[in-house]
Chain A
């Protein structure tokens, strides 16, 4: 069983590596990144809202 799991794991690692044959960022991840960036840039926020800061209690 251990040997079969090892083979499955090796196959998984190979498939993961193969996703990046064309470069460090896949087309799908690039598209998702661009979409999210646009989503954030187009989100309207009132000027008095600042960046998230660590909550320190009441």
Chain B
């Protein structure tokens, strides 16, 4: 007898029931579609819901199980994909009017990988215009619908938070995975640059774009990322070599690991005092788990690195949109248009100087990990803001800029607003396994990831 709603279970719990044939992928998919019907009006997380296609896929998924074929931990698990990720035969609008009726002929690499893993796509989730700043969707934060869910992966975060999908795909070019995940009380890993193929995903910036997944738990995130990871010659940035087993990594021994905490009063000082309080408590938990806490000094050029990041986004965005901007400039939203206009003004020398600053910053940030195993910071400087602006990504930018892996886990709720707070764990390049292990142990010791949005 299962008393919890199927859409409230973790992926691991659902997968276990599906594998044992205690529940069918059809029942699971029906539960999520029902939840979408119940809550979408208040959350507005979806651009497109493919209910018929999802049910058809669920029936095929059930048939495979009954015939003895089990594809793994994502078999029969329903998910959503940010609407900049191409889906064959399903409109991919990019959150824009520039080419808003575009229906791709091919799937993005990540969609093909999830198909192979047996996951079931429910539909496409809202995004800011082309995952850029500006062009915010109407999507609401399920914890408090007067507030933003963050962005640019607005719908992906809100959908999981509201129990409308078991997991969702998003992207991060500045802070578009970690920030909305933190605002929605979710777990999310932005992996090392190059871990996941971006083939078939609209680019915001070639040298900054990362793909990740929103889940409730670290264990679930490890399962999804493991399915997505791997080399792909269609995205030359992907890392070569064998993909690690993230699911095995979560059980690694973490005792004695050194955790760096930035010096107080610096770049990572939160604006909301409740975030500072929650961080202190979370760091105490890490200490109780046997980790050693050390104060660390961040690279001096962090402000220049932010400037380099923004210039890179402008220049690469302008280059990517060059052709369509020539003929359809008036269809771009004003905020994105502003950034593209500035991008067109940048010289090659300025772009290259920005890349050199990024090299200096990455080298200095990597050298921090000679002394520590992971760095922890608040995931965001503020709680989710009221209204529709998606909030500050400043605490996430440094690790997108450098390609270092970063993960957020929920660590508390602000009592008055009921809004979630997140802690960002950062590792050296290719250091996801340690982050998963620390995050998993933290979630075994706490219950924040078990809380659900009151919608």
A residues near B (Cβ < 8 Å) are: 1-2, 5-6, 8-9, 12, 16-17, 19-20, 24-26, 29, 33, 36-37, 39-41, 43, 45, 49-58
Contacts and interface: CB of A to CB of B under 8 A. Distances in A.
Contact of B362 (A17, A19, A52): A52
Nearest to B388: A12
A20 B334 contact: yes
A55 B193 contact: yes
B207 A54 contact: yes
User: Of residues A12, A25, A51, A58, which shows the largest number of chain B Cβ atoms within 10 Å of its Cβ?
Assistant: A51
B335 interface: yes
Interface stretch (B156-164, B349-357, B391-399, B418-426): B349-357
A43 B301 contact: yes
Nearest to A2: B41
Mostly, the A contact residues are: loop
B277 interface: no
B140 interface: yes
Given A41-B350, A45-B353, A55-B193, 13 more contacts: A1-B145, A6-B138, A16-B335, A19-B334, A24-B341, A29-B342, A43-B353, A49-B356, A49-B360, A50-B355, A51-B352, A55-B194, A57-B241
Indicate the size class of the contact surface on chain B.
Answer: 35 or more
A33 B310 CA distance: 9
A20 B140 contact: no
A37 to B, nearest CB: 6
Nearest to B329: A24
B342 A33 contact: yes
Contacts of A51: 352, 355-356, 358-359
B394 to A, nearest CB: 14
Contacts of A43: 301, 304, 353, 357
B307 A54 contact: no
B140 A5 contact: yes
Interface of B: 41-42, 44, 134, 136, 138, 140, 145, 192-194, 207, 236-237, 239-241, 301, 303-304, 307-308, 310-311, 333-335, 337-338, 341-342, 345, 350, 352-360, 362, 387-388, 403, 429-430
B319 to A, nearest CB: 15
A52 B355 contact: yes
Contact of A45 (B192, B333, B360): B360
A12 B387 contact: yes
Contacts of B310: 36
A40 B354 contact: yes
Contacts of A45: 353, 356-357, 360
Contacts of B138: 5-6, 9
A2 B207 CA distance: 39
B307 A40 contact: yes
**CB-based closest 3 A-B pairs:** A51-B355, A36-B307, A52-B358
